[in-house]
Amino acid sequence: QRRLIENLFYHQTFTRTAVAERYRARHGELPPELLLLSPSMACNLRCGGCWAAEYGKVRRLTEDRLDRLLLEANEEMGIHFVVLTGGEPTLYRPLWNVMRRHQDVAFMPYTNGQLIDEAMADELARLAGLDLPDFLGKVTNEEAGPPAGKTSSEGTAAPAEE
């Protein structure tokens, strides 16, 4: 809770102001308040109408590139709030390391939630500075279509290899 308050309210309200004004002086407008990032297009589901599966599992940011993007967003635009989308962000293996290195950022993974167990939820809460990730809602196998690599919608979704 403390990190959430510090990152979203203190940094976004007070420390962001000088950075945002420098950005406005250079670009003629204020920077965005948050950053939406898709570190990977890998997903454990194939939901009807979802565009992520169209990109394939191999499209992903390197850990180094993601670190640089977060650092630039913070230093150049004063962004301390990042929404992680995908694909399924919990399949991005370097996610935990990246979140550990960027303690001044509040992360909100936008997830289908099917891979999150109690241990992962606790780790997400600790690292993201949020109590809960933002779930897409309860996605049933019938709604989602077959899990990645499966030919039917029976059974539970299993992690897809990145």
| Site of tokens 């709604």 | 143
Q: What is the pTM of this model?
A: 0.75
d(CA 4, CA 135): 18
Whether the Cβ atoms of residue 130 and residue 99 lie closer than 8 Å to each other = no
> Closest by alpha carbon to 131, among 118, 120, 121?
121
| Site of tokens 């009807």 | 48
> Which of 5-19, 121-135, 147-161 shows the lowest mean pLDDT across its residues?
147-161
| Contacting residues for 28 by C-beta, under 8 A, at least 6 apart | none
pLDDT band at residue 158 using 50, 70 and 90 as cut-offs: very low
Whether the Cβ atoms of residue 160 and residue 57 lie closer than 8 Å to each other = yes
pLDDT tens for each residue of 102-112:
988 888 888 88
Per-residue pLDDT, 160: 45
pLDDT tens for each residue of 41-82:
888 888 887 877 677 667 789 999 999 999 999 999 999 889
d(CA 83, CA 99): 12
> Which of 94-98, 101-105, 142-146 shows the lowest mean pLDDT across its residues?
142-146
Per-residue pLDDT, 16: 82
What is the DSSP-derived secondary structure letter of residue 143? H
